[in-house]
Amino acid sequence: MIEMQPRSDAQLLRDYSELGKESAFAEIVTRHTDLVYSAALRQVYSPDLARDVTQSVFTDLARKARSLSAGLNAEASLVGWLYRATRFAARDLYRNETRRTQRERLAMEQLQPESESTPDWNQLSASLDDAMSDLDEFDREAILLRYFKNNDLRTVGAVLGISDDAAQKRVSRALERLREIFAKRGVTVGASGLAVVISANAVQAAPAGLALAISTAATLTGTTLATTTVTATKAIAMTALQKTIVTATIAVLAGAGIYESRKASQLRRQVQTLEHQQAPLAEQIQQLKIERNAARDHAAASVQLNGINKNSNAELLKLRGEVGLLRRQNQTLTQALATQQKAGEIQSPDNGFGTLGKFLSSENTGDAGNNTAEDLLRTFIWAIRENRIDRLEQLGAPLPSPDAAIDETGTSYLEMFKIIQKVFTNSAGFRLSSKANADNPEYEVRLDAVPLQANEFMKGFHISVFLKQTTDGWIFVAPPQ
* 45: three-class secondary structure by DSSP: coil
Angle (deg, nearest 10), helices 47-63 and 79-93: 120
* DSSP summary character for residue 412: B
Task: Please give the pLDDT value at position 41.
Answer: 93
Per residue in 254-287, pLDDT (tens digit) is 444 545 656 666 677 776 767 766 767 777 778 8
415 C-beta neighbours (distance < 10 Å), count: 14
Please determine, for residue 178, whether its predicted confidence score (pLDDT) is greater than 60: yes
Residue type, 78: L
Instruction: Look up the pTM and report it.
Output: 0.34
Task: Please give the pLDDT value at position 199.
Answer: 83
Strands (E), 175-293: none
DSSP string, 353-411: PEEEEEEEEGGG-S---SSSHHHHHHHHHHHHHHT-HHHHHHTT-----TT-B-STT--
Contact 35, 83 (CB under 8 A): yes
Which of the two residues, 281 and 339, has the higher pLDDT score? 281
Residue 428: which pLDDT band, with cuts at 50, 70 and 90?
A: confident
Contact 395, 369 (CB under 8 A): no
Contact 189, 124 (CB under 8 A): yes
H-run or E-run covering 468: strand 462-470
Task: Please give the pLDDT value at position 456.
Answer: 63
Per residue in 128-141, pLDDT (tens digit) is 898 889 999 989 99
d(CA 51, CA 63): 18
H-run or E-run covering 122: helix 121-134
User: How far does CA 301 lie from the centroid of its chain?
Assistant: 23
Residue 252: which pLDDT band, with cuts at 50, 70 and 90?
A: very low
d(CA 279, CA 118): 13
Q: Facing residues of 432 across strands?
A: 447
Task: Please give the pLDDT value at position 472.
Answer: 86
Average pLDDT over residues 197-222: 75
d(CA 380, CA 367): 8
Please determine, for residue 23, whether its predicted confidence score (pLDDT) is greater than 90: yes
Please determine, for residue 290, whether its predicted confidence score (pLDDT) is greater than 50: yes
Closest CA to 19 of 7, 6, 33: 7
The angle subtended at Cα 159 by Cα 191 and Cα 73, nearest 5°, is 140
Per residue in 41-96, pLDDT (tens digit) is 999 888 988 999 999 999 999 999 999 988 889 889 999 999 999 999 999 887 75
Total residue count of the chain as it appears in this document: 481
Share of the chain above pLDDT 70, in %: 70
* DSSP summary character for residue 459: T
Residue type, 64: K
| Rg over CA atoms, the chain | 44
Task: Please give the pLDDT value at position 353.
Answer: 42
d(CA 238, CA 108): 29
Residue 235: which pLDDT band, with cuts at 50, 70 and 90?
A: very low
